[in-house]
A and B are shown apart, each in its own frame.
Chain A
Amino acid sequence: DGGITQSPKYLFRKEGQNVTLSCEQNLNHDAMYWYRQDPGQGLRLIYYSQIVNDFQKGDIAEGYSVSREKKESFPLTVTSAQKNPTAFYLCASIGGYGLVNTEAFFGQGTRLTVV
């Protein structure tokens, strides 16, 4: 079955450590996205990538880094520079056919807690 997989579901990090969240899709989608959601808040865009080896900053990129070495994979690293990393992280992908976008497919999310 095609889909988008995020791992792990829960992640605990000590202050000062970097941590990487995984996002893999087998939908053959070009575009992938990372969002952060805080309790009672909307989804805020961290980074997005429209094509392999290219990515753009979203609205809250500071303290985060990404890579897009393969079409299927878009890992997010939460660095020690991110002052308040505890949040729910969602990964998404969108495919396109000609001029038509499909809907965005989302992973199940990773809940990151700093301890």
Chain B
Amino acid sequence: AQKVTQAQTEISVVEKEDVTLDCVYETRDTTYYLFWYKQPPSGELVFLIRRNSFDEQNEISGRYSWNFQKSTSSFNFTITASQVVDSAVYFCALSEGQGGKLIFGQGTELSVKP
């Protein structure tokens, strides 16, 4: 069955610290897509990254980086030198095939204090 687990419910860091948000997934499909989204207090979901199952390259975008490891079914997200504006709830998500069921983890609430 399809499942996404974000074991960290809440994380609190001080500005400029690095922080890693964990995501572990389960799927039987060989073709799947992984996503990270940010949800600020306003409620809208902001897309951060998409990864397909055939592309295990890690990605860096400014202070954000993602580590995709099929061997451990993990897709972790690291924020380097965190800032107060990074405070939000972050969701990891998984979809199977094309336009298939899209499910989300429980989310990790990140609080970055000045």
Contact = CB atoms under 8 A, between A and B. Distances in A.
A33 interface: yes
A101 B34 CA distance: 10
Interface in B67-85: none
Contacts of A41: 106-107
B43 A108 contact: yes
Interface in B81-95: 91, 93, 95
Nearest to B47: A103
The range of chain B's interface size is 20 to 34
A4 to B, nearest CB: 11
B33 interface: yes
B91 A103 contact: no
List the 9 closest pairs (A to B, CB-CB), nearest first. Answer: A31-B99, A42-B106, A43-B104, A96-B98, A106-B45, A103-B47, A42-B107, A50-B99, A103-B50
A115 interface: no
B43 A94 contact: no
Interface string A43-68: 11100101000001011000000000
Interface in A77-108: 88, 90, 92, 94-96, 99-106, 108
A92 B52 contact: no
Contacts of A74: none
A94 B107 contact: no
